[in-house]
Structure formats: C-alpha cells, structure tokens
Amino acid sequence: MENVKFRNEDMAWDIAALVQFPPGFDESEKYPTLVSVHPFGSCKEQTSSNVYGAALAKEGYVVIAYDASYQGESGGLPRFIEDPTQRVEDISHVIDYAVTLPYVDADRIGVIGVCGGGGYALNATMTDKRIKAVVSITGVNIGRLFREGFSGYDPIGALDAMAAQRTQEARGGDLQVNELLPISLAAAKENGMTDRDVFEATEYYKTPRGQKPNGATKMLFSHAQNTLGWDAFAFTEMLMIQPMMVVVGQNVGAFGAYRDGMEIYGRSTASKDRQLVELEGWSHYDLYDNPEAVGQALEKLVPFFKQYV
C-alpha cells in the first residue's frame, strides 16, 4: 500500500489517497483498477480501504481509496464541507490520476462506494463513461436523506437556518460545525436514539470498532444547501447504461439504504446488466465490516467486477 497526494490542473488542493496493490504486483504490468469511495462522515482508512479495498486488492485489482475534498487528509477550506457535486467530481479527479499511472489499465476501471459513497459512485457512473462498472454497498441518496431525516423533514426550515448562519459567518461569526452522531453508545441510549442505523453508526464511528482520527462524522452546517438540493438518482433512466450492482441488507434503518437501493435498481432500465443483492439478516453497518455480511457481499461483487472490469 502506498500513501499518495495528487492535484489535477483544475483543482486548487491536493487529494490524499491510499493505493492498494494486488499480490505479486509488478509495475511493468497493467492492472484493472477500482476507485473506492468512503461513506459520508468517513475517511479512506475506514471501510473503503481496510475492508473492501483490501479484499479487492487480493483479487488482483489496484484499488485507490481516497479522502473527499474538505475532509480527511485531502485539501479544501473550510473543513467538513459535504458537497455532493464536489464529491462526484472527486471520483473523476481520482480517475484522472489513475490513468496517468503506468500500471493502470485505463480501459478497465470500476468504482465501488459505501453508504453515501455508494450514491456518489452511482451518480459519477452516469456521467463518467471511463467507469466500466459500479457497485454500491448499502448506498444512500444523501440528498434524499438530508431533505428528510437530517432536516427533521423540514428542508425549507433547514435552508432558512443555513442561510442565516452563512450570513453570520460571512460577517466574521464562528463556523457552525455539527456533530452528526451521539458522542457514545451511552449518550445514544440516554437520548432515546434507538433507531438501528443511528445506534449502529455510533457503535462503528465512536468506538474502537471503526474509529479513525479522520473519521469526523461532522458537517459544516452553513455550506450544506447544495446537499439538500441534490439528487443522486437524477436522470438514472437515461444515463445509467453501465453494469451496476446494488448490495443492501434487509434489516432496515432510518438512513434508508434499502429504500434507495430499490429505487436505483428499479430505475436503471438502461443498464446493460443491473443486479440487486439483498442480504437477509444484515443491516447497513453490518456491511461496513462484519466479516460474514461483507463475505456474502464479496461473493456477489467479485465475480461481477471480474466480468466487467
């Protein structure tokens, strides 16, 4: 594995990435390559690299897991911005970097994303036709989630509050950085946060199970307007032509990955091969790192990538 930073001509900051290599890697050869997209509030050191990236590298792929702009070790100011348009553009920037590497086969590039990263991966595939196939792991349409649960089902009220806060910050006020999860499992229980996804997210991000220094689970509130106005699945029927696989757990929670998976699968009628994988008995966060749940996902997605990338 190699830590790298790169900047494209149309970028004002560096993207930080982990490049994972297959066994017996030989730089003089050409390898199929996968871009691995981390979840919302996550970082490259978590599930995108240490679970799916590691497993796919063992299967013969070069895997590039990276930090989103404004997050982790990547550049961009102010910090903790979640901008879906930039997140999708980041995927193309990573591909721009990948195709300059002598060992990357530019005709065999795929994308895999987890949670919000799954939604971004699907969206990027619609417009960047260098992507030959895409896999979404418990993917979430982050725009839909922000318009619903994350705004208390009051998107206009949230936008009004963001506008007021952004004006305050423009005039020199303090930035409002919101923590998106309880600080601990105990805090989640004390506040009655019993939803499966909220509780399991806290267990993953706020305990040694998945905790990493750059896994921030934070968001700059004043710059989230674009998130509420964005739709990962816009123009799916027209633009999603590449092979796609959607992996979801049947144990549903408030973040809505099962619902979103059903939607994108149902709408991807132009895809040359659309596949839906429903895993019975598993939840959203089981698919982050539970060995059995991840193993079942890999049993399906590895042959899929082998066929198309």
Domains in the chain: boundaries:
2-308
**What's the pLDDT band for 191 if we cut at 50, 70, 90?**
confident
**What's the pLDDT band for 26 if we cut at 50, 70, 90?**
very high
- Structure confidence by residue, pLDDT tens digits, 29-46: 999 999 999 999 999 999
pTM for the predicted model, two decimal places = 0.97
Partners of residue 65 on adjacent β-strands: 18, 36
CA atoms within 13 A on the CB side of 139: 32
What's the CATH number for 2-308? 3.40.50.1820
Rounded to an integer, what distance in angstroms lies between the CA atom of residue 272 and that of residue 263? Answer: 17
Rounded to an integer, what distance in angstroms lies between the CA atom of residue 268 and that of residue 278? Answer: 17
**What's the pLDDT band for 9 if we cut at 50, 70, 90?**
confident
CA 11, chain centre distance (Å):
20
Q: Which uninterrupted H or E stretch holds 31?
A: strand 31-37
Rounded to an integer, what distance in angstroms lies between the CA atom of residue 222 and that of residue 116? Answer: 20
